């Protein structure tokens, strides 16, 4: 009987983006497919995170609220705060 080997799954990586002083910090990030990006609102003003291609969208985030999205496919994903459209960011997903 052949040996059977179990391979432990590695946990998916997470990358944090803060929302502070009406900015996404960092404004542009590059991640591998399967990475979860976690946005945390550090302002006292509500913000949202919404993809330009409508592939993801948060509810209004109050102070210290978080929103996360896992990027499964490669591409460049622009996003904005729908409350403050001058707030923009990009997630580059590449292997």
Tell whether the model's pLDDT for residue 6 goes beyond 70. no
Domain boundaries, the chain: 14-93
Percent of the chain with pLDDT over 70: 87
Pick 14-93's CATH classification: 3.40.50.970, 3.65.10.10, 2.60.40.420, 3.30.450.40: 2.60.40.420
Q: What confidence category does residue 11 fall into, taking pLDDT thresholds of 50, 70 and 90?
A: low
Q: What confidence category does residue 49 fall into, taking pLDDT thresholds of 50, 70 and 90?
A: very high
**How high does pLDDT run on average in the chain?**
91
Q: What confidence category does residue 66 fall into, taking pLDDT thresholds of 50, 70 and 90?
A: very high
Tokens of residue 18, six digits: 């803060």
Nearest to 57 by CA among 72, 39, 74, 75: 39
Output the CA angle 63-68-72, nearest 5 degrees: 165
């Amino acid at each position: 009987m052949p040996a059977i080997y179990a391979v432990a799954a590695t946990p998916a990586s997470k990358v944090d983006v803060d929302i502070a002083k009406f900015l996404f910090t960092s404004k542009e990030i590059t991640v591998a497919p399967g990475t979860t990006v976690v946005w945390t609102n550090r302002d006292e003003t509500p913000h949202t995170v919404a993809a330009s291609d409508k592939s993801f969208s948060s509810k209004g985030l109050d102070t210290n609220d978080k929103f996360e999205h896992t990027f499964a496919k490669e591409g460049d994903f622009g996003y904005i705060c729908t409350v403050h459209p001058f707030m923009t960011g990009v997630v580059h997903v590449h292997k």
